[in-house]
Structure 1
Amino acid sequence: MRDDFFLNALVKEDKKVILSIYKNNLPKVKKFVLQNKGNKEDAEDVFQRALLQIGVRYRREKFCITTSFDAYLFTVCKNLWRRELNKYKKEVTNNDVVELYNEENDNSLALIEQKRQELFMEKLNVISDNCREILLMFFAKTSYAEIVQVTNYSSEVVVRQRVFKCKKKLTEIIKADKRYNSLREI
């Protein structure tokens, strides 16, 4: 199924398709949230917010998902949950602890983070197949020794050098994109 099928279903509020999205994706999100200091209700809330955010964004600006819809949704949920864990930053003023939180700012930052992820994935698909393979293993925390076994490289030193060069190339490609400056840290 094309991923815009799911995006259109969210916009049209197609209950049957949305129920299938819940059935296929909510268990993975629950597992992630439970493993990261959350509970079942937190997971359901994050999942609902992610669907709402994706639907609203797609209604405003049609965009393409370069991965599967399920992977995209899971990434949005992970980002929302991580943001949720970080949102109650504490500031000490005159021996009082003040919790800082601004929902509007939080939603804007979540959207920027989502767009950054999309730019990263888009540019990762532009670099050579070899670099993409090496970087995906590196980002998945695969050891250099394991990368040597999987690839044709002769040693861990060569793999380290290749990872460095590929990261540098990916960074250059990302920075050359006109969207980069608008997505930098605020």
Structure 2
Amino acid sequence: MSNDAYFIEGLRTGEQTVLEEIYDCFFVKVKIFVLQNKGVVSDAEDVFHNALIQLYIRLKNRELTIKSSFEAYLFTTCKNLWRRELNKKRVTNSNVIELEDTETENAFALLEQEQWELYIKKFQLLSENCRKVLTLLFNGTSYDDIVKTFSYASKVVARQRVFKCKTKLTKLIQEDQTFSKIKNL
């Protein structure tokens, strides 16, 4: 059994020693991320705990297929949860108070994770060139730098390429049955 399968099965069954190993192996990385992004240790603990609950719920409700490693999947889940928490704090700080129950919050987090998984799955189907172009764009690379990286004739050509790649990705996502299910929730 691979480490990933070991962690997944341990989480599914609630095996205490495996849960402790998950904390020992992966919590530090999440803690560092949260601390670097306006959080404190208790925030990191909450995010990590909520991510494990979310994964446990998904494992109980259906088969969970992880395309990357368990660590990467768990870390992405934690990042998404922390981003949501930061967004809520930003809204709350602007004097708009939002009250959400835990079940609603978990449902939104699960939905967000499913959306992320669909995006990654379809992103991998793009050509290598499209993946590189979109990765640069999503990481904040300027069109001037994209032109230089790919030796495009101009920014117009770069913008056209980005548009074609985004259109292809959008089409792949929208044609997937999972998208219809997610969209109708």
TM category, shorter: 0.7 to 0.9
- 8 Å CA contact 1:4, 1:64 repeated in 2: no
Q: Point out the structure with the larger helix share.
A: 2
1:148 alignment counterpart: 147
The 3-state SS of whatever aligns with 1:63 is coil
1:163 alignment counterpart: 162
- 8 Å CA contact 1:87, 1:100 repeated in 2: no
Q: 1:41 to 1:75 in 2, by over 3 A?
A: same
2:123 alignment counterpart: 124
Q: Distance in 1 between matches of 2:101 and 2:14?
A: 28
Task: Report the residue type matching 2:155 in the other structure.
Answer: E
Q: 1:99 to 1:63 in 2, by over 3 A?
A: closer
TM-score by length of 1: 0.83
The 3-state SS of whatever aligns with 2:68 is coil
Task: Report the residue type matching 2:170 in the other structure.
Answer: T
Structure 1, 30-39 or 169-178: larger mean CA deviation: 30-39
1:36 alignment counterpart: 37
Q: Distance in 1 between matches of 2:165 and 2:64?
A: 27
1:38 is displaced (CA, Å) by 1.6
Q: Distance in 2 between matches of 1:98 and 1:144?
A: 39
1:82 alignment counterpart: 83
Q: Distance in 2 between matches of 1:169 and 1:54?
A: 30
Q: 1:59 to 1:176 in 2, by over 3 A?
A: same
Q: Distance in 2 between matches of 1:39 and 1:104?
A: 24
1:99 is displaced (CA, Å) by 4.1
TM-score by length of 2: 0.83
1:97 is displaced (CA, Å) by 6.8
Unpaired runs of 5+ residues, structure 1, are 91-95
Equivalent residues, number: 182
Q: State how 1:104-123 maps to structure 2 within 5 Å.
A: 104-123=103-122
Q: 1:102 to 1:145 in 2, by over 3 A?
A: same
Task: Report the residue type matching 1:71 in the other structure.
Answer: A
Task: Report the residue type matching 2:175 in the other structure.
Answer: A
Would you say 1:6 and 2:7 are equivalent positions? yes
Q: Distance in 1 between matches of 2:178 and 2:96?
A: 38
Q: Distance in 2 between matches of 1:98 and 1:130?
A: 44
Q: Distance in 1 between matches of 2:69 and 2:160?
A: 31
Q: Distance in 1 between matches of 2:58 and 2:6?
A: 15
Structure 1, 148-157 or 69-78: larger mean CA deviation: 148-157
Structure 1, 165-174 or 151-160: larger mean CA deviation: 151-160
2:61 alignment counterpart: 60
1:93 alignment counterpart: none
Task: Report the residue type matching 2:74 in the other structure.
Answer: L
1:155 is displaced (CA, Å) by 3.4
Unpaired runs of 5+ residues, structure 2, are none
1:73 alignment counterpart: 74
1:47 alignment counterpart: 48
Structure 1, 42-51 or 15-24: larger mean CA deviation: 15-24
- 8 Å CA contact 1:148, 1:154 repeated in 2: yes
Q: Point out the structure with the larger strand share.
A: 1
Q: State how 1:132-143 maps to structure 2 within 5 Å.
A: 132-143=131-142
